[in-house]
Amino acid sequence: MATHSNDVLQSVFITGLKNVHGVEHQALALIDRQLDHLVNYPEVADMLRKHRVETEQQIVRVEEILNELDESRSWLKDAALTVSGNLAAIAHVFAPDEILKNSFANFAFENFEAASYTSLIALADAGSFTIATPLLQTSLTEEQAMAAWLDSNNAALTLKYVERRSAGETASH
């Protein structure tokens, strides 16, 4: 069985927590920009609003873990990832298939977040950071549920886009 230096384990864990904190701020920026463009896709808007609330709670959970470890979040990382989230969402605004591009990007992003939480759970368990595991598991479950919803609705969303476009209606958002 492999052994891990507790100092290295804790350092990697804290870095991961700060990273996921920034990623969750990026997620908020992505969601906010998309909500402005979902008039024709209320089911997507409803799910994004629900997930936005979950994302805010995920940020609080990560902050709780950081506080327990007497660590602060990275304001620079949070700001940089918020800006990049806004830029990523803006990049799709002018695409005629904006709704599809956003849906694909959201699916990839949710899976990235889920992978991040899976990694953090492994570190928490290995480092005996007992307060962290249930909090991280809750966030992981939420990310997996959102990714599953996006995946299971991809075909219907694509066909709705084609239907609207075929009818000469606004289809992009």
Q: Is the per-residue pLDDT at 133 higher than 50?
A: yes
Dist. CA 45–CA 76, nearest whole Å: 29
Q: To 5 degrees, how large is the angle CA 5–CA 7–CA 8?
A: 65
- Is the CB of residue 23 less than 8 Å from the CB of residue 108? no
Average of per-residue pLDDT across 76-89? 50
Average pLDDT of the chain, as a whole number = 87
Q: For residue 104, what are its two tokens?
A: 């694909």
- Residue 1 pLDDT: 43
Q: Is the per-residue pLDDT at 3 higher than 70?
A: no
Q: Is the per-residue pLDDT at 104 higher than 60?
A: yes
Q: What is the DSSP letter of 63?
A: H
- H or E element, residue 93: helix 75-93
Average of per-residue pLDDT across 20-29? 93
Q: How many CA atoms lie within 13 A of 165 on its CB side?
A: 14
DSSP labels, 107-161: HHHHHHHHHHHHHHHHHHHHTT-TTHHHHHHHHHHHHHHHHHHHHHHHHHHHHHH
Closest CA to 129 of 12, 3, 13, 7: 13
- Residue 92 pLDDT: 47
Average of per-residue pLDDT across 91-112? 82
Bigger pLDDT: 125 vs 92 = 125
Q: Is the per-residue pLDDT at 12 higher than 90?
A: yes
Name the CATH superfamily for 6-166.
Ferritin, core subunit, four-helix bundle (1.20.1260.10)
Choose the weakest-confidence range: 44-58, 70-84, 92-106.
70-84
Entry pTM: 0.87
- Is the CB of residue 66 less than 8 Å from the CB of residue 132? no
Q: Is the per-residue pLDDT at 64 higher than 70?
A: yes
Q: What is the band of 129 on the pLDDT scale with cuts at 50, 70, 90?
A: very high
